[in-house]
Amino acid sequence: MKKTSILAATLSPLLLASSCGSTGSGDSPPTQASPSGETGGTWDGGFVTTEHGSFAEPWAAAFVPGTAMLFVTEKAGTAKIVDTANDRVIPVTGLPEVDYGGQGGLGDVAFLPSQSASTIGRRAIYLSWAEAGEGDTRGAAVGRGELVCAASDSCRIDGLEVIWRQTPKVSGRGHYSHRLVLSPDEQHLFVASGERQKQTPAQDKQSHLGKIVRLTLDGSPAGDGAIGGALPDIWSMGHRNILGIDFDAQGQLWEVEHGPKGGDELNLVRRGQNYGWPVRSNGVNYDGSDIPDHSADDGFAKPAVSWTPVIAPGNMIFYTGDLFDGLAGDLLIAGLKTEAIVRVATDGDTARETARYDMDNRIRQIVEGPDGALWVLEDGDGGRLLELRP
């Protein structure tokens, strides 16, 4: 275990661009970093940080409800459970075969919060991954199984079955998205389905690409006719590469997605809405060619916040705890490009960035722990697991 101190510096408002595994241990002397921005309570924006080892291209993590066990996925197709109470790592077997390469591999993980027995036991687990198809094609898949930890040093996934597949499978290895979130009532599973860098299918009602889909817990389509003439699981459309999705305290669904060159977006997701990609974006194409900006009369849903330069989000969570005074209800976004945690305050259907907390590395994932501590995974091979406390 390695502990450092990240101390708050003088805070100043941020100006928004409106156009937008192995584990390791050891000790080291404190270092300093300088968060910037406004805070909404008495917490001053500083962290005490403890390292809990490193991982091979970690991509996602979630606490097993009711435990101190953190399930971590690694992109090449492995997963581990970190017993955060005892600082040990448990390997996981029974994982799916993944199509590893580019942005593809093992993806997100989700559990049913209601299954929060005091021991890890046997409980439902949802996973997403990139799956090979015929020829040079691939697509996202979502499976459900049971996580079983019969002993203190081994865990496995039993009965993993695919419950949803992204269609059509296409060439390339980018923009799978495949983020997962369960509705607060645990009746539905929402899946972020990226447009696979193909752009125009995001406006095709008969394609999953560039959509958010809603499923029942067994994977049955539950779009409930949100978009007329669309596939029966489609909930919203016109998205690019969604890498964060979560519900706020009012039960509203939000997502954050990568724009092209500029134009990252935070969107309030409403049933049946079209968010405009690739017809509208506050960014431009990578070759510099123009994409019309969002406008009041374009017929598409508008982003609540747009970033140019981009933040390149990793994931996002709405913080619900009370360990960080004044943070409850705010949105925290893992920043890849920014190498920071980006803090956003929401009010109804509006949002504004209020702070950035420098992390000095690309951040792939933020998770809230059982006692309100923040657990952060750095991006890439050797990405560290960091525990953040006030």
Q: Kindly give the pairing relationship between strand 138-151 and strand 154-165.
A: antiparallel
C-beta atoms surrounding 246 within 10 Å = 18
Non-local (6+) Cβ contacts of 97 within 8 A are 77
CA distance 308 to 315: 18
Give the integer Cα–Cα distance in Å for 303 and 291.
15
- In the block, which residue shows the tokens 């020829």? 135
Residue 250: both structure tokens together: 């009012």
DSSP state of 205: T
Both structure tokens of 203: 């406006």
Listed in order, strand segments (DSSP E) in 84-121 are 88-93, 106-111
Burial of 369 (0-12, 13-18, 19+ CB in 10 A): middle
For 99, the token pair is 């199509």
**Whole-Å CA distances, 320 to 37, 259, 291:** 20, 28, 37
List phi, psi (to 5°) of 247: -100, 140
Whole-number CA gyration radius for the chain: 20
Which residues belong to the active site?
Answer: 175
Provide the total of helices (H) and of strands (E) in the chain, helices listed first. Answer: 0, 26
Distance CA 275, CA 239 (A): 6
